[in-house]
Amino acid sequence: LRAQIAQQSAELRDIDRRLGRTHRDLDAAKDRNQKLERELDLAGSEIDILRTQISNQEREIDDLQDNPATSDHSLDRVRDALRTSEDALTTARSANADLDTLRSERDTLQTERDEAVHPLLAWRASSVEPPPTQSKPLRQQPMTARRVEDRDAARDETTTLRQYPLSISLFLVFDVALTFVPPSRP
């Protein structure tokens, strides 16, 4: 009986030692578990921060991708306005050349008329016989209504462009450019 009691006593001490070790292991496991939970919380916070940063960067990328499209559209509008201004200037220069041609023709006709009429006026003043007609015939080019309209339109357009040549073109170009410039971001 004593041998059994001694054996059971030894077993109880062994069980107590194992139980103590198990309690210590359990406490260590609880400490590790708490540490892992804290690390998990920190990792979750970092994940949320990273997701927010990714979302912000994706928005910035989208904005940056939209800006070139908007800028390209604005640039196209400015180029179109510039082409229109250049075309108007070319038309005005052409009309000015036509107007110069018409003026030259007018001056030539006036000179020819004066040359033809001058001897007649001199004869009339002196009341002598009329001089023989000149061998040079008076050049007659009747102006059609269309030529007169073209001349008048060219003169009006030239006058307008001479008064405001650069300011109109620049106003159109900058007005279109400012209309489509994207707003700056802070």
pTM of this structure: 0.35
Q: Does residue 72 lie within any of the structural domains?
A: yes
Q: Does residue 136 lie within any of the structural domains?
A: yes
Q: Does residue 185 lie within any of the structural domains?
A: no
pLDDT per residue as tens digits for the range 41-59: 999 999 999 999 999 999 9
Q: Does residue 186 lie within any of the structural domains?
A: no
66/72 Cα distance (integer angstroms): 10
On the question of pLDDT at 186 being above 70, the answer is: no
92/161 Cα distance (integer angstroms): 7
88/94 Cα distance (integer angstroms): 10
CA 50 to chain centre: 35
176 within 8 A of 85, measured Cβ to Cβ: no
119 within 8 A of 93, measured Cβ to Cβ: no
170/7 Cα distance (integer angstroms): 111
Q: State the residue range of the domain holding 139.
A: 2-180
Closest CA to 132 of 123, 142, 141, 140: 123
Q: Does residue 134 lie within any of the structural domains?
A: yes
Q: Does residue 120 lie within any of the structural domains?
A: yes
* Average pLDDT in the chain: 76
**What's the domain count of the chain?**
1
Q: For residue 42, what pLDDT is reported? A: 94
- Percentage of the chain modeled with pLDDT above 70: 65
CA 128 to chain centre: 78
Find which of 70-74, 143-147, 163-167 is predicted with most confidence, using mean pLDDT. Answer: 70-74
Q: Does residue 56 lie within any of the structural domains?
A: yes
Q: Does residue 135 lie within any of the structural domains?
A: yes
